[in-house]
Structure 1
Amino acid sequence: MRAAGTERLRGEGGGLLLANHQSFLDPIVLGLPLERSITFLARDSLFRLPGFGRYLRAMKTLPIARDAPATAVMRAALAAIERGELVGLFPEGTRTADGSLGPLKPGFVTLARRSGRPVYPVGIAGAFECLPRSRKLPIPGPGRVRVVFGAPIPPERLNAAGGAAEIVVLVSERIAAAHAAAVRWRETGEEPSDVDATAEPG
């Protein structure tokens, strides 16, 4: 596994990490290259899986109940960001079925707006090949994983984007750019340049 753009998260201060969701390996490949810990959000049903629930708690993961108000977890996530922590979220809402980036759900928009902190778009490539959604046992196979941490989106840029739909488009474009850079890096072996990592499509 290799990562690019980690220098963008070396400073202090909270923020929201939004990444494409390739596999159960994603929290690990996001956290390993950083010198800071990440508090993740995940659906509560995953906490009931034998062994995996313990792993999620060890990773400081906050449960999200799909059929219950998200007020409590929203407060917990905002409190973590205010303490200067990074909060990680996979806005597709579920793991990809084929390795591609799917449409983003708008649930992250309120958290991004209320936090008043930067949003960090992240692209992951190769985790799907190591541990695809279709694999019955969650045992990863060998492979090459590349992670690209894109340029942060400042809160002023989010506010200027407009409504929730416009923010979803903006963040989708940024994650797509980081994902494309990670895919190229994995396929060609050429590490992303600063231009690739900070691309602002659209």
Structure 2
Amino acid sequence: MGGWYRFGYITSQILGKLLFSFKVVHRERIIEEGGCILAMNHESYLDPPLAGIACHRELFYLARKTLLKWPILGPILPHMNVIPVDQDRADMSALKTVIKRVRAGNATVIFPEGGRTPDGKLQPAQPGLGLVIAKTLAPVVPMRIFGAFEAFPMDGKPKPFTPVTIVVGEPMYFTKDDMVGEGRELYQRLSERVMERIAAIQNERP
């Protein structure tokens, strides 16, 4: 891990535990070596750093490019493996970068819904995840975060001491036989398949 990434990782560990009693259930299911995709629902700004500390390896993240304009934090984000994406259009350059990273043996976090949920409920999957799966055939680890929306809703303020949990599902593996169809229809179907697995995950926090 680079210096800034390690700093963010350790800081997220400390704040996650102190402020949100953060726990990971079935951490052993996360693939720690080789190219893979961690696919998780998107509830709040807390999701990327908490997904990052759910595993021991370094991750790459897609984030809307406007975050890089934030004071102080914005210039640091590229040093924390953030890949900026333009959410106002189909940003193929960002997805191509993710594909290249996964093919090189790295791991990335992708939110199939695209953006944060406005009401705490799971949102429909977008085809971006399916595109990355189709181009890499990388294994996907479905994960579901619980409590993050309550801890930091889209239009609200952070509520410390709200418990947040990530439950890790069984890895999903894909082959060329799964690539029936082409283009957006194929990508959408693959994304929906993963989203169904995420939706089936229950909160197992003790």
SS in 1 for 2:114: coil
Q: Which letter maps to 1:35? A: H
After TM superposition, give the deviation of residue 10 of structure 1 in Å: 4.7
CA distance in 1, matches of 2:90, 2:112: 17
Match of 1:154 among 162, 169, 173: 173
Describe the shift of the 1:35–1:158 C-alpha distance in structure 2 as closer, same or farther (beyond 3 A).
farther
Shift of 1:109: 1.2
Whole-Å separation in 2 of the counterparts to 1:158 and 1:130: 41
Matched residues, percent identical?
A: 33
Match of 2:111? 90
RMSD: 2.2
Q: Does 2:88 match 1:61?
A: no
Instruction: Provide the residue aligned with 2:187 in structure 1.
Output: 164
Give the one of 150, 163, 177 matched to 1:129: 150
Q: CA deviation at 1:9?
A: 2.3
For the structure 1 residues 158 and 108, does the alpha-carbon distance in structure 2 shift closer, same or farther, using more than 3 Å as the test?
farther
Runs of 5+ unmatched residues, structure 1: 190-202
| Cα distance change, pair 68–95 in 1 and its aligned pair in 2 (3 A) | closer
The DSSP-based 3-state class of the residue aligned with 1:30 is helix
Moved more, 30-39 or 41-50: 41-50
Is 1:23–2:44 an aligned residue pair?
A: yes
Could you tell me which amino acid in structure 2 is paired with residue 25 of structure 1?
Answer: L
Q: Is the 8 A contact 1:44 1:65 kept in 2?
A: yes
After TM superposition, give the deviation of residue 140 of structure 1 in Å.
4.9
- Equivalences for residues 27-66 of structure 1 within 5 A: 27-54=48-75, 56-66=77-87
Segments of structure 2 that go 5 or more residues without pairing to the other structure are 1-21
Q: Distance in 2 between matches of 1:80 and 1:165?
A: 21
